[in-house]
Structure formats: structure tokens, C-alpha cells
Amino acid sequence: MVFLGFMQFSVLSLCFIVLTTFPYQASSRVSFGGNQNGVNPHLDDGICASAVIVHGYKCQELQVTTKDGYILSLQRIPEGRLEGRNDVSRKQPVILQHGVLVDGMTWLMNPPEQDLPLILADHGFDVWIANTRGTRHSRRHVSLDPSNPAFWNWSWDELVIYDLPAVFDYVFSQTGQKINYVGHSLGTLIALASFSEGKLINQLKSAALLSPIAYLSHMNTALGVIAAKSFIGEITTLFGLAEFNPKGLPVDAFLKSLCADPRIDCYDLMTALTGKNCCLNSSTVERFLMNEPQSTSTKNMVHLAQIVRHGVLAKFNYVSPDYNIMHYGEIFPPIYNLSNIPHDLPLFISYGGQDALSDVRDVENLLDRLKFHGVDKRSIQFVKDYAHADYIMGFNAKDIVYNSVLSFFNQVL
């Protein structure tokens, strides 16, 4: 019971912690913009129409089906705004993978000259934006409906096993070239787990990991601490919900209960959730609210919670030894051994000194697991003033981080 109680806290605390950011006022219902289903009507036509083509770029809306039947949305930006040519056969492909509770739109919140996908396109890369199962444009399956709990029976293990390989296979089949990868937050976790098991390696050229998540033992957010001490019993009703929808009433009620605590400043949840972001414009945050957050599975949130509790990176723990044996043939779930990542795989890792999610000590733990990585294959960047959201929405991220990503990719061409 103690174990389950901790997991119940962690599911909710991680929801708010990993969400990236959203402002909230304790006196009113959480408002994310859009209609009653959480969708902004202006974004219904897809990410290409709402955030790429409007800036003068070509963009294709594509679909990829995973081996377990999920139909994922994928956007391709084949060239820069000023190129005016259609031949992309020699362009290097880049896949961008977002974090949990957001979708591919999260890369496109700033003006075009500040958005990483468009910057990459302008610098001659063939850009592909992935969207995880369960997010707004990836809520389809060959036989299951999102109203069916079976649709949500997955954790980030399935993103490792099915989603990333499906996207990589498709991009590789279309381009015939090895792929560069950019992940943020959960997008780094599933990449590291994949690489550790030898997945994707034959199709991969290099990987840039921004605000990496692999270990969460030192995650230190105000919301997490308060929830752990005061509100375990308030969120037990969330179990039984297969879809974890941050816009739903159970989460809204829990937020209100947290905001009643004087130790939490609910007028600045950005800092309470992600650390003190240095470089976000209010217009960017407003745009973020029109699109995010997105749904994920409750099982996925529980799996993330298990990283916090156990301090190791392992497959989903079914708690019951019988269930673990059924799934893995072992009492305990297998561990993702990051030391198995090929030592000659070019890696770029950037982390921030103010990040309350990707805490410096946890990143140092990750780097220690990579200590045998080839010195000339590992590039590390530390940004003292950056927190979690700065990496995808910071107005100066182009100069501080993205230019370094470009240099890294160009060095491994």
C-alpha cells in the first residue's frame, strides 16, 4: 500500500512537472484555450497548415502506422523558405521528438526564425516532426477507439518498441539516408532507451538530446514536494482512468487543492513546474496554451513515476511478481543499460543549470553512464541560466542552443 500511495502521488506530480509549463489561477478553472475538447479550432487543419505553411515553408502531413496498430501523425518540412527547389534526395533527414503531454506543435511556438524545425530547414536539412500516440493528431488506431481503455494500455516502453521504430523506418524508406535525431525531455528518454537496446542504430547518424531525462532522483519542484506531503489521498480516484487527460476534471480538482497551499505560487506555476525559465516571451506562452497540454496514458505516467521511486531506468513494473514474470520472465522488470549505447554514436547533450526536471545531478548521473563514450563522439553543453522550457520556447535558444546543434550535425555529415 505504501508503494501504491507513492505511485499515486508521482503520477500527478509528474503530470505537472513534465508538462513543460502553464500558468494557472487558483480562483478559476484551468483554462488551456480552445473548445470543450481542448482543441483550438484554428489548429484543426493540422500542424503544417497552422504553424509551417503560414510562414512560407512547404510542409506535408503524413501518417505512419506502428506494428501494434497506432496511426501516428508526421510532418515533413523538406526545404527552407528561400530555397525554391524540390530535390531533397541529398538532404540530411532530421527527426524531432517532443516530450510527454505535448505534441509536435511544441517545436513551433516562436516566430519562424526562432523555431528549431524551421531553422534546420533553412540550413538545408530535411525535417520530420513526430507526434506520439494519444496526442491530438495521433488518436487513431486500426481497430481501437480512444474511448476504449485498451487504446491507452501502453507506457513509454511502447514508444521505444513501436513508435520510434515506425517513424525511423518510414523516414529511412523515404530518404535512403541515415537520420539525425533531436529529442527534448521524454524524447530523450525513449531515444536513450532505444539506443541502449541496439534499436535504430543502423538507421541513425547522430542524436542531439536537449534537457535530457533518464534519471529523476533529484527532481525538485515545489509542486512535487507539497503533493508528496499533503495530497496523496486526494488523487486516488485517478486510478482507473486509462487516458490521462490534463484538461479533465480530476486533474483540475487536484490543481485547485494544491493551489490552496500557501507555499505554492499558482500565479507562477512555470517556475514551480520546470524551474526558473529565463527566456520565454508571454506571447509564446499564450500560443503554448492554445495547443497544449495533450493526453497520454495513465500507465505512461505511472511508468515515469517508477523512475522517480526506484532511481533506475527499467521497463514498466507491474508490481506483482506474477505479472512481471508473465511479461518479462523475471520477478523484476529488465533495466535499460545505457552503458550499452554504442560508444561511437555521435551524441550532443545540452542541459540547464536551472532545470528542476532534468536536474544537474541527474544529468551528471547520465553522463557517468556514458563515460566510456568516445571523447570525440560526445559533445556536452551546459547552459547555466536555462530551465526545461527554455530549450523549446526560449527566444534566444537559436543563439545559445540551436546553433550548437547545427554545428554538431554539420560536423558528423
**Residues 6 or more apart from 117 whose CB is under 8 A from it?**
52, 77, 96, 107, 108, 127, 129
- Helix, strand, coil percentages (3-state) for the chain, rounded to 5, are 45, 15, 40
CA 193 – CA 33 distance, rounded (Å): 34
Best CA proximity match to 408, nearest among 143, 198, 180:
180
- Active-site residue flag, 157: no
CA 207 – CA 184 distance, rounded (Å): 11
For the record, the C-alpha cell of 72 comes out as: 501516428
Q: Is 379 helix (H, G, I), strand (E, B) or coil?
A: strand
Best CA proximity match to 79, nearest among 120, 131, 130, 129:
120
- Active-site residue flag, 388: yes
Catalytic one of 98, 184, 303, 388: 388
Look up cell 553522463; give the residue.
367
- Active-site residue flag, 344: no
Sign of the dihedral through C-alpha 211, 212, 218, 224: positive
Catalytic one of 115, 355, 359, 390: 355
For the record, the C-alpha cell of 134 comes out as: 494519444
Catalytic one of 10, 185, 297, 350: 185
Report pLDDT for 235.
42
Alpha helices in 99-248 (DSSP H): 116-122, 156-158, 164-175, 186-196, 222-230
Q: For residue 231, count other CB atoms closer than 10 A to its CB.
A: 19
What's the pTM? 0.86
Peptide bond into 293 cis (omega under 30): yes
Tens of each residue's pLDDT in the chain, 413 residues = 322 333 333 334 334 333 333 333 333 223 223 333 333 434 457 999 999 999 999 999 999 999 999 999 999 999 998 765 555 567 999 999 999 889 999 999 999 999 999 999 999 999 999 999 999 999 999 999 999 999 999 999 999 999 999 999 999 999 999 999 999 999 999 999 999 999 999 999 999 999 999 988 777 766 554 543 433 333 433 456 788 877 776 666 666 776 776 666 666 666 666 778 899 998 888 888 778 788 998 888 888 878 877 889 999 998 889 999 999 999 999 999 999 999 999 999 999 999 988 899 999 999 999 999 999 999 999 999 999 999 999 999 999 999 999 999 999 86
Q: Does domain 47-412 have CATH number 3.40.50.1820?
A: yes
Report pLDDT for 272.
65
Degrees to nearest 5, angle at CA 204 with 107 and 142: 65
Report pLDDT for 246.
75
Domain boundaries, the chain: 47-412
